[in-house]
Structure 1
Amino acid sequence: MIVCYARGGGLGHLTRLRAVLHTLGWGGEVTVLSGSPFAADARIAGGWRVLAPSDPVRTLAELEPDELIVDAFPAGLKGELTAVPAGTRVTHLARLLRWDAYLPLLPAVPPRFDRTFVLEPLDPAHGSYLRSVSDEIAPLDLTDPPSAPIDVDGWLIVHGGPDAEIRELVAYARDMAALEGVRPPMTLVSPRRPDGLPAGIAHRDAYPACPPGPRVERIVTAAGFNAVRQFAPWRDRHRMLPFPRALDDQFTRAKRARDPALGSTSRFRSTSR
């Protein structure tokens, strides 16, 4: 049995897990430990057993998985992952973190990993730490499961975050259009229609929100891991507005995405012990 440790309340962890499981061709029973409300959506977590335990470390010990996938945070969201069941193969999925903010959360005895997959360039100190706790470390380029394109006229605005951020992203798109002297149709793809959405902005609850169809002229998103990764093939049409996060560095990710020379995990060499 595969157990995925994906603490966090957003959509990003679950979307990343879908891509990882598809990329590596992992089949069989999958249990996800997540408190995200998006895990109740069959389009996102269909086929998975989802648990939201109050004590995830205790639940993990009771499950005794063959394989444990630890997403994003090497010791859990708050540094709570201090023990892994004996005999469990542990895989870590590493993405960019604000390492200076996460480092104080690490427990005195952090978990070790049989292998770490680096999904995007990391802070140098973060990468050094992972090399010290991983038997093998290598880059991994993710591929999402096949899906139908989202094809709308004009501009596509995509965000699953809070209403305030959605409204800010819409305002960014409208300001951009005004500066360019254009009035394109705009469609927001989001799990819900936020309060205060301006008139004339269409809304679709669609998942996944990629790939864009041929009628999409512009893509506007935040700078979360999945948005930047998924829309990379359409970089010429993609505009990002990074938002502040406690542990995710969207500003660095956006800067790297605008300079392709900085945005490849191929620069991270595979190592093993």
Structure 2
Amino acid sequence: MILYYAVGGGMGHLTRAKALIEHFQVPLESVKVLTASPFAQSCFPDLPILPLPSHLAQNPEFYQVWLQQQFRKYNFEQVWVDSFPCGILGELQAFADANLQWAYFARILQWENYKGIWQKTLPFEKVYLLETLEKAHQNFLESHYSKNLENLHFEYSRKNVSCIFDENDWLIVHSEPETEVCELLAYAYEQAEMENQKPRFCVISPISKLDTSLIYTHFHLQEAHHYFEQAGRVISACGFNVMKQMQPYQEKHHFLPFPRRFDNQFLRAKLAFTKN
């Protein structure tokens, strides 16, 4: 049994969890995805979710007890850790000596902000590098896991969907927070005005009612990337998943990085410009 650690804000960790579980062809009955995301059940109904009670984030001792209970209940043999090498709060360090197989999936992490959490090295047998990392993060991994590093390339599953968008549609794709969804929508309006265009502004987000006077059409779609090909333009932030999903459509991708405590969307945006 695998515990996939996908704790973090937004839907990015869950989107990546789904893609990696499919990439490694893990039977869904053999994995539990740990998350505190309020969107988990509604946006990822097929994922075997292990919901993390939100109040535990404020009670580290109870959180440890709860985690221990889950390990006993499900008899986990492997732990796959997304993004945070010892957990977002450092909570996984308590299990470093347990009889478990560990794997780490590394995306960009602001090491300067995270390194104070790390105190104990987890025995990762595999460290999968999902993108170019910050140098300090890369150096940490090379110093502790030099023989276990592996670049991992994976794709997001594609399915045939109804054609609900066309070239006149601009998709604004973002889960949360609402202020950032509004900022991306305003950015799209600015582009349209500068280019003298009149597209339909289509917001794809779990948030249906935005605090804005701008006119838009809302869509609540579980996996937005299936529709990117249909639209004339896609406006997004610079999270890992959307930047990777938009690689085949770079010519119509417009993006804004937002500040994050642990992610570095500005570095990811810079790397995207460099590649282009």
| TM-score bracket relative to the smaller structure | 0.7 to 0.9
Cα offset for 1:23?
1.2
| 1:258 maps onto 2:273 in alignment | yes
Q: Which amino acid aligns with 1:201?
A: Y
| 1:247 maps onto 2:262 in alignment | yes
| Alignment correspondent of 2:60 | none
- Distance (whole Å) between structure 2 residues aligned to residue 252 and residue 45 of structure 1: 32
2:105 to 72, 79, 93: 93
2:141 to 108, 121, 130: 130
| Alignment correspondent of 1:19 | 19
What is the DSSP-based 3-state SS (H/G/I as helix, E as strand, rest coil) of the residue aligned with 1:200?
A: coil
Question: Where do 5+ consecutive residues of structure 2 fail to align?
Answer: 57-62
- Distance (whole Å) between structure 1 residues aligned to residue 254 and residue 215 of structure 2: 20
- Distance (whole Å) between structure 2 residues aligned to residue 215 and residue 86 of structure 1: 48
Q: Which amino acid aligns with 2:224?
A: A
| 1:81-230 matched pairs, under 5 angstroms | 81-82=92-93, 83-84=95-96, 86-107=98-119, 109-134=120-145, 135-149=147-161, 151-153=164-166, 154-212=169-227, 214-230=229-245
- Distance (whole Å) between structure 2 residues aligned to residue 192 and residue 34 of structure 1: 19
What is the DSSP-based 3-state SS (H/G/I as helix, E as strand, rest coil) of the residue aligned with 1:114?
A: strand
For residues 216-273 of structure 1, the C-alpha deviation after alignment (integer angstroms, 9 at most, x for no partner) is: 1111000011110111110010000111101110011011112227xxxxxxxxxxxx
- Distance (whole Å) between structure 2 residues aligned to residue 61 and residue 196 of structure 1: 42
Q: In angstroms, what is the RMSD of aligned CA positions?
A: 1.9
For residues 34-91 of structure 1, the C-alpha deviation after alignment (integer angstroms, 9 at most, x for no partner) is: 11111122x4142404231532542454244122101100010022221246332111
Given the superposition, is the C-alpha separation of residues 89 and 5 from structure 1 closer, same or farther in structure 2, using an over 3 Å criterion?
same
Cα offset for 1:9?
3.3
TM-score (norm 1): 0.88
- Distance (whole Å) between structure 1 residues aligned to residue 80 and residue 150 of structure 2: 15
| Alignment correspondent of 2:59 | none
Aligned residues: 259
Q: Which amino acid aligns with 2:151?
A: P
Q: Which moved more, 1:179-188 or 1:52-61?
A: 52-61
Given the superposition, is the C-alpha separation of residues 99 and 47 from structure 1 closer, same or farther in structure 2, using an over 3 Å criterion?
closer
Cα offset for 1:199?
4.8
Question: Where do 5+ consecutive residues of structure 1 fail to align?
Answer: 262-273
Cα offset for 1:131?
2.5
For residues 185-216 of structure 1, the C-alpha deviation after alignment (integer angstroms, 9 at most, x for no partner) is: 11111112133244531110001001335541
Q: Report which structure shows greater RCO (CA 8 Å, sep ≥6).
A: 1
Contact 1:159 1:189 in 2 (8 A): yes
Q: Which amino acid aligns with 2:153?
A: D
Q: Which amino acid aligns with 1:32?
A: V
Q: Which moved more, 1:164-173 or 1:49-58?
A: 49-58
- Distance (whole Å) between structure 2 residues aligned to residue 182 and residue 221 of structure 1: 19
| 1:50 maps onto 2:54 in alignment | no
Cα offset for 1:104?
1.2
Contact 2:18 2:47 in 1 (8 A): no
- Distance (whole Å) between structure 2 residues aligned to residue 213 and residue 49 of structure 1: 27
Q: Which moved more, 1:145-154 or 1:112-121?
A: 145-154
Contact 1:9 1:37 in 2 (8 A): no
Given the superposition, is the C-alpha separation of residues 137 and 240 from structure 1 closer, same or farther in structure 2, using an over 3 Å criterion?
same
TM-score (norm 2): 0.87
